[in-house]
Structure 1
Amino acid sequence: MKVLMFGWEYPPHVYGGLATANFGISEGLHAQGDIETTLCLPHPFGDEDHTFANIVAMNCVPISYRDVNEEYIRNRVGNIMEPELYYRLREHIYADFNYMNVNDLGAMDFAGGYPANLHDEINNYSIIAGVVARTLDFDIIHAHDWLTYPAGLHAKSVSGRPLCIHVHATDFDRSRGKVNPTVYSIEKDGMDNADCIMCVSELTRQTVINQYHQDPRKVFTVHNAVYPLKDEIAAIPRPDHRDKEKIITFLGRLTMQKGPEYFVEAANMVLHRTRNVRFCMAGSGDMIDQMIYLAAQRDIADRFHFPGFMRGNEVYECLKSSDVYVMPSVSEPFGISPLEAMQCGTPTIISKQSGCAEILQNCIKTDYWDIHAMADAMYSICHNESLFSYLSTEGKREVDQITWEKVGAWIKELYLRTLGWV
């Protein structure tokens, strides 16, 4: 089976959880042994892992004819696209796009990530999808999140192949219900015209059914998973914090969806009971200044650290150095970071309003707004060695069984159903 997949970010260039999930799904599909994935990305850098997917650089796909020789292409973009593929794609330009801002290859540049002109980039990406869909051979289309739904729809209209969309989050999650009408319309158009909708949790599935008015028969829950720890990460020992200051960590985007203010308020309650604890608030976002001010306002700034955005090994080093990991999200479609924390042997507290709460047992779950329960859980883990040891050991054992290979098997089953091959 051949899959044409549209993604937006991919390791090692990680801007959020979408890259992690996209890589894991590619890995899980590859593990099935009979699935070939072609992954389209707006701006790959050439250092992406091609083990699990053939990567098409959308910023190198020609949409206007340019008479360039093979040597020029190799010198220009040889590390991210082979001349042979460039020439194949050039044969399927379907309109005159010279009026657009194309470069010397007849392709469109992308900033990568989430620039200010994001909606323009989404539209341009969908235009380029038409050339790709006319050129490549595939059985089914898989589009990740609203950023790529227009591209998936264009590919479907060009090829007649069925479209699966993967809902990693909705605007109801990101905005606490105050949806952006433009984003909502893109999301709903993708859902209305998809043949299969995959949601990262039952929580998200119900949002899709009830808020986007989708037929439940085409909406399925596909929980995320976690990669095995790399050997060099697994080899890092956990520091022994017994009889020393404890470290409680929040790691994520500092936005209202993630509930950072509840973490600070619960921390304040813990610090009224003990001063033998420090709080790490790792990440960036539009609420970082507000959180720094709130910590100062509560007179606990001397107990708080704001190390900023972390990526790669930094994340795991931070988690292994922590005694407790907390994810107090107000609305979390899934949330991979608690799985990563538990994988590191770090006892974890999550909000009941998170999708991963549906599959995790060996952690503590509280309502995001219940700062009293959250503070009690933080304090208990730090001061009860038996509880710490149990959550550390059993949490790791549980998460080690949640693999992308199992996710890939379920997605393959959904592909087969959508194609009518079973």
Structure 2
Amino acid sequence: MKVLMFGWEFPPHISGGLGTACYGLTRGLAKIDDLDIIFVVPKAHGDEDQSKMKLVGANGVSIEQVQTHIENFKTQHTYLEVESQLIPYNDPDEYYTFRSQDLYGQNKFFKVDKEGKLEFSGKYGANLIEEIYKYAYVASTIADNHEHDVIHAHDWLCYPAGIAAKEVSGKPLVIHVHATDFDRSGGNVNPKVFEIEKKGMDAADQIIAVSNLTRNIVIEKYGQDPAKVKTVYNAVEPVTIEEKLKVKKGVKEKVVTFLGRITMQKGPEYFVEAAYEVLKRTEDVRFVMAGSGDMLEKMVERAAQLGISDKFHFTGFLKGDDVFQMFLLSDVYVMPSVSEPFGISPLEAMQSNVPVIISKQSGVSEILTHAVKVDYWDIDAMADAIYGIVKYDALANVFKEEGKEEVDNLKWANAALNVHDVYTSAIELFEPSLKN
């Protein structure tokens, strides 16, 4: 079985859990003998690990062939006009091929070099929607150039690419819902994002959700048939802590850590308020907020207002070994997410022998037994849990030992087998529909 997989980021160039999950899943799938993966990203940097699959960067693909498929593509997405002409006042080695009116509200040109390649940042910037649709254009050519049996598109950023590939190759499409805009926005859904998500789900032959929490949102909010929505939980890559860099804490106090995007979805304000409550009861604790996001400045200001800045540390965004170094410094990890489709970071913390406190509003709470679970809004319960773990070593040791054993059994190889079953179902269900 050959899988054409579309993602948005891949280690070491990641900004969150999506890239980590894609990497773990591809490594798990690579252990299946009859399966080959072509993993596509908007921008390849050349230093990605390709030992388990072939990686293709859309930025390195010529798009001449896309013109033969543009008519079908534009009826599915937006009004797009294809031209092949030089535009005055530009370098003659460069030309603009695509113009979009409906998507941007005014004429917009996509820059293509003399080899027919589009430029991608591969980031989540102001031109994200533009890059999503450029990615879909290139996906048509990639689908034409690479043999495959099934298409797998990760998250809403890649759904248009998955749809474009399906239209070209006629192969079944599996989409992987790592999050929805209902999670990211707290219910204040962006209409454009919702439209992209809905079209991806409608076009999909099978849908993978990372938790039952997410599965229910897909069914109820996006009107999807429950029969085609399957839950496959995420996992973690095995690690040997002894191989990680050893770090010394440098302080005598216990360290309580929040690690993630500092945005509404992750509930950072509840962590700050809980820290204040804990510090009323003991001074032998420090709090760390590791990450970046639109609420960072507000959290710094709130810690100052509460008078706990001397016990509160902001590290900025961490990745790779820095994450595990932070866990090795930590005595408790807290994930107070308001709406978390899954949440890999608690698993990484448990691998590092760190007790975890997670919100009941997280997908990972569905599979963990040896974790404290609280409602994200229940600051008193969160503070009580933190205080209990930092104050009573016997309690902390139980969570460390039992949690480590539990998480060591959550392997990407098992998740990959479940995803492989979804591929098989998609192919089997798709083939009869072709005959009809």
What TM-score do the two structures reach when normalised by structure 2?
A: 0.88
8 Å contact from structure 1 (residues 141, 152) kept in 2: yes
Residue 232 (structure 1) shift: 5.8
8 Å contact from structure 2 (residues 244, 324) kept in 1: no
1:221-300 matches, within 5 Å, as 221-229=231-239, 233-234=243-244, 236=246, 244-300=252-308
Separation in 2, partners of 1:231, 1:367: 31
Residue 338 (structure 1) shift: 0.1
8 Å contact from structure 1 (residues 7, 40) kept in 2: yes
Q: 2:114 aligns with which of 104, 107, 115?
A: 104
Letter in 2 for 1:266: A
Residue 105 (structure 1) shift: 2.2
Letter in 1 for 2:27: E
Which stretches in structure 1 are left out of the alignment for 5+ residues?
Answer: 65-88
Separation in 1, partners of 2:173, 2:253: 52
Separation in 2, partners of 1:255, 1:157: 36
Secondary structure (helix, strand or coil) at the match of 1:116 reads coil
Separation in 1, partners of 2:250, 2:310: 22
Deviations along 1:366-401, one digit per CA (max 9) or x if unpaired, are: 000000000000000001111110101110110000
User: Match of 1:32?
Assistant: 32
Letter in 1 for 2:323: V
Deviations along 1:97-153, one digit per CA (max 9) or x if unpaired, are: 642310132100101221210000000000001111111100000000000000000
Residue 236 (structure 1) shift: 3.6
* 2:310 is the alignment partner of 1:318: no
User: Structure 1 segments of 4 or more deviating over 3 A?
Assistant: 89-98, 230-241
* 2:4 is the alignment partner of 1:4: yes
Secondary structure (helix, strand or coil) at the match of 2:112 reads coil
8 Å contact from structure 1 (residues 92, 134) kept in 2: no
8 Å contact from structure 2 (residues 214, 341) kept in 1: yes
* 2:212 is the alignment partner of 1:212: no
Separation in 1, partners of 2:244, 2:138: 41
Separation in 1, partners of 2:264, 2:250: 33
8 Å contact from structure 2 (residues 66, 137) kept in 1: no
1:380-395 matches, within 5 Å, as 380-395=388-403
Separation in 2, partners of 1:233, 1:194: 42
Which stretches in structure 2 are left out of the alignment for 5+ residues?
Answer: 71-81, 85-95, 98-109, 432-436
8 Å contact from structure 2 (residues 208, 232) kept in 1: yes
Residue 349 (structure 1) shift: 0.2
Secondary structure (helix, strand or coil) at the match of 2:27 reads helix
8 Å contact from structure 1 (residues 63, 93) kept in 2: no
What TM-score do the two structures reach when normalised by structure 1?
A: 0.91
Separation in 2, partners of 1:359, 1:378: 21
Separation in 2, partners of 1:157, 1:372: 53
User: Match of 2:201?
Assistant: 191
Residue 91 (structure 1) shift: 12
Separation in 1, partners of 2:241, 2:266: 30
Instruction: Give the count of matched residue pairs.
Output: 396
Residue 90 (structure 1) shift: 9.8
1:168-179 matches, within 5 Å, as 168-179=178-189
Cα root mean square deviation, aligned: 1.9
Residue 417 (structure 1) shift: 1.3
Separation in 2, partners of 1:408, 1:101: 38
8 Å contact from structure 2 (residues 139, 161) kept in 1: yes
Residue 240 (structure 1) shift: 10
Deviations along 1:324-368, one digit per CA (max 9) or x if unpaired, are: 000000000000000000000000000000000000111100000
Letter in 2 for 1:59: N
- % identical equivalent positions: 53
8 Å contact from structure 2 (residues 66, 138) kept in 1: no
* 2:183 is the alignment partner of 1:164: no
Separation in 1, partners of 2:30, 2:296: 39
